[in-house]
Amino acid sequence: MTGRIRNRDLARKVVDAEEAASLIRNGDNVGMSGFTGAGYPKEVPGALAKRVAKAGVEGTPMKLGLWTGASTAPELDGVLAEVDGIDLRMPYQSDPVTRDKINRGSLDYTDIHLSHVAQRVWQGFFGKLDVAVVEVSGITEEGLLIPSTSVGNNKTWLDQADRVILEVNSWQSTSLEGMHDIYYGTALPPGRRPIPIIGPGDRIGSAYLHCPPEKVVAVVETDSPDRNTHFTPPNSDSRRIAGHLLDFLELEVRAGRLPKNLLPLQSGVGNIANAVLAGLQDGPFDELTAYTEVIQESMLELIDSGRMRSASATAVSLSPAAMDRFNARMAEYRDRIVLRPQEISNHPEVIRRLGCLAMNGIIEADIYGNINSTHLMGSRIQNGIGGSGDFARNSYLSMFMTPSLAKNGAISTIVPMVSHVDHTEHDVDVVVTEQGLADLRGLAPRRRAELIIERCAHPDYRPALRDYFERAQRSSFGAQTPHLLSEALSWHENYVRTGSMRG
């Protein structure tokens, strides 16, 4: 019994990862922890993958339903996809091996809004959850579970699973205790009550995850870091995108349409998002707040510098260096950061009430403001919609960001018609590229097209977009959203055929 497992009964259940993995059966639905490479189980998935591989060799192939919070890491998604151990993956992934299996058609992937997962699992239409495999940072004397660097769907997995396997990761800081807020008031309708969050930092639940000890079939001790990747400083395109966005927010404040300290920020992850947050460091805004999915590098810096008052998320995803700082200064952060279940961090009710400012990266936008966040050339999945729909649909302002070119200019991210729609024209307020920003609010589709082409498209593709739009206006079946059906997807066809949208 180490200092991390302070409960006597659960300490008796410590086994190694192989033994724990042996408790998972062919056909099981398995709910694992993990969100954006944080707080996922580090050893059981690998041991499970070995079992699956062995079973395959022995002619008794093993398949599992794999459910998580969001993306995990090669040690989880990667190893299980590699051995073809997954038959249905949900609700999000960003793993190269998994992605490849999906796009070859050998793995089913259901890409759903992150806020919907818990409710849909309770509803029961994904089938029974058999096993939960959840990383925690410790277990109290009373058997309460101290969550790790992500909460994700862990509350739901622990509630719904028949059998629970815990990984207690002593790499995680002990000072995480007290940072989480696990709300136990959600329910299926009828009789649901309001979620009582009024401000981003409100605490409405317990600092611990609850789990009946008799459901715990194994406890595994680990000591491994999260998939914390090195921080890449924003490149020039990202800085330009951030500049346009911050100018826009300043104008909105000046016009009286936003308060001086803005509204709770939601930010996707990645280079552009980091550039926006870095830009806020030097900008005119103070007393910022965030109501978002993931606390990332630049958001931590905003808290460090005092620019940001409080941040709510469901996961912390940092570089190794920032994670060291985070762990060292945890006591200070505990008052300013709240980690919640993803059904709450992404809850439509709360997002609408708080009036979030949603900022998310995309794959492509079309001239009428429809957004593709998930598919390359209409059919190849990249990652998934994640929480972008939860925020876009219910936010106060819904902003989407992308460089205007991809693949060294072979791809224009502004196209006549997107090849897949994840956010409809009705849900998109602002599109930004390094070229400029298009404020689409209140505009009819034809007016949006003028703005998006002139402000957002790259000059190399602008003449072709203008030409399409002009010809479409002349000969379209209707003038609300002019299109030439035989050409609308031809840019994507060109790319598939020739390797460039230029055809």
Q: Which residue ranges are tagged as binding site for CoA?
A: 363, 383, 387, 407
| Residue 269 or 430 with smaller CB distance to a copy of itself | 430
Least distance between a copy of itself and beta carbon 137 (Å): 31
CB 479 to a copy of itself: min, Å: 3
**Binding site listing:** 363, 383, 387, 407
With CA atoms as reference, report the closest residue to 233 among 270, 268, 288, 206. 270
Site membership for a copy of itself, residue 198 (CB under 8 A): yes
The footprint of a copy of itself on residues 352-391 (CB under 8 A) is 352-355, 370, 375-381, 385, 389
We find the least distance from the C-beta atom of residue 64 to a copy of itself, in angstroms, to be 15
Site residues for a copy of itself, 384-423, by CB under 8 A, read: 385, 389, 393-394, 396, 417, 419-423
Of residues 73 and 472, the one with the C-beta less far from a copy of itself: 472
Determine the Cα–Cα distance for residues 430 and 109; give it in Å rounded to an integer.
30
Closest among 211, 184, 153 to 31, alpha carbons compared: 153
Catalytic residue (one of 221, 293, 301, 343): 293
Note whether 492 binds a copy of itself by CB under 8 A: yes
Instruction: Say whether residue 250 binds a copy of itself (CB under 8 A).
Output: no
Residue 167 is a catalytic residue: no
CA distances from 313 to 20, 182, 270, 386, 414 (A): 30, 12, 16, 14, 31
Region near a copy of itself per CB under 8 A, out of 11-19, 132-140, 190-198, 304-312? 190-198
Contacts of residue 410, defined as CB under 8 A and 6 or more positions apart, other chains included, come to 495, 499, 500, 501, 502
| Binding to a copy of itself, residues 55-114 (CB under 8 A) | 88, 90, 102-105, 108-113
Q: Name the one range near a copy of itself by CB under 8 A: 39-47, 142-150, 154-162, 342-350.
A: 342-350
Of the candidates 304, 349, 450, 454, which one interacts with a copy of itself according to CB under 8 A? 349
381-384: long-range contacts (C-beta < 8 A, 24 or more apart)?
381/99, 381/102, 381/103, 381/109, 381/111, 382/99, 383/71, 383/92, 383/93, 383/94, 383/99, 384/91, 384/92, 384/93, 384/94, 384/109, 384/111
Decide: residue 60, CB within 10 A, 0-12 exposed, 13-18 middle, 19+ buried. exposed
The per-residue b/e assignment along 154-184, b for 16 or more CB within 10 angstroms, e otherwise, is bbbbbbbbebbbbbbbbbbbebbbebbbbbe
Sole window of 218-226, 236-244, 313-321, 348-356 interacting with a copy of itself (rule: CB under 8 A): 348-356
* The only residue of 447, 460, 471, 498 in contact with a copy of itself, by rule CB under 8 A: 447
